[in-house]
Amino acid sequence: EAGVVQSPRYKIIEKKQPVAFWCNPISGHNTLYWYLQNLGQGPELLIRYENEEAVDDSQLPKDRFSAERLKGVDSTLKIQPAELGDSAVYLCASSLAAGGLGMQYFGPGTRLTVL
Amino acid sequence: QKEVEQNSGPLSVPEGAIASLNCTYSDRGSQSFFWYRQYSGKSPELIMSIYSNGDKEDGRFTAQLNKASQYVSLLIRDSQPSDSATYLCAVNRGYGNNRLAFGKGNQVVVIP
């Protein structure tokens, strides 16, 4: 069974530039998450989708971050414009429907460097 | 108070010894508990889940949960150099609210 797929794996951009990350969850997983992980810290949730609906985006900085999951499968996370402090690893995870026991599986992540 | 706390510094254990990791959480309503292993430069990998008080064993790993005291622990028996990684404790608030709160992790170094 294929795992969570993310691209790109690495991205280096200048500050104020836009950037987008793509995620394809495990087949059959209705719930998709975007996390941010800073060095030496655990992942922090940015947004959670149940199918197409964003059900928890309270931690998403909405002035510069946006996300979409149009057909309830793939998702894109965008930052515009990027700031120096956005340098981090962006992780996508997926799980079975919300009524389950919460096991989440992570993709390889995208390491973003903002110069 | 942080939702999930892992306060121990890096843990060095000799090969073959037992590594013990602890985690406390603040939300008494938490329902499910997980340990993730993260190698340097890699993403977190789920290694253990536990939902009820007591011990759960899977190979060389044992997870222990005590909801009354709000702590979760992970034991790694017969530690191997390949166990050298950061171990993240994660807590799920409950059914229908699949938001994992993570601790900052504990680094384990197994010395051959």
User: In this complex, is the C-beta atom of B51 within 8 Å of any C-beta atom belonging to chain A?
Assistant: yes
Cα torsion angle, B45, A39, A46, A3, sign:
negative
Best interface-test mutation with B: which of A104, A105, A111, A113 has the largest number of B CBs within 10 A? A104
- The shortest C-alpha distance from B47 to chain A (Å) reads 10
Contact A91 B43 (CB under 8 A): yes
Q: Quote the pLDDT of residue B58.
A: 96
pLDDT digits (tens, 9 = 90+) for B43-82: 999 999 999 999 999 999 999 999 999 999 999 999 999 9
pLDDT digits (tens, 9 = 90+) for A48-106: 998 999 988 989 999 999 999 988 899 999 999 999 999 999 999 999 865 556 689 99
Cα torsion angle, A102, A7, A35, A48, sign:
negative
**Pick from B4, B96, B99: CB nearest A99:** B96
- The shortest C-alpha distance from B71 to chain A (Å) reads 17
Alpha-carbon distance A42 to B6, whole Å?
10
Q: Tell me the one-letter amino acid at A55.
A: V
Cβ atoms < 10 Å from Cβ of A31 = 21
Q: Which two tokens stand for residue B15?
A: 């090969």
CA neighbours closer than 13 Å in the CB half-sphere of residue A106: 24
Provide the CA B32 distance to its chain's centre, in angstroms: 12
Question: What residues of chain B lie within 8 A of the CB of A98, using their CB?
Answer: 95-98
Question: What residues of chain B lie within 8 A of the CB of A56, using their CB?
Answer: 99
Helical H runs in chain A?
none
Q: Quote the pLDDT of residue A37.
A: 97
In 3D space, the residue among A104, A36, B88, A29 whose CA is nearest the CA of residue A47 turns out to be A36
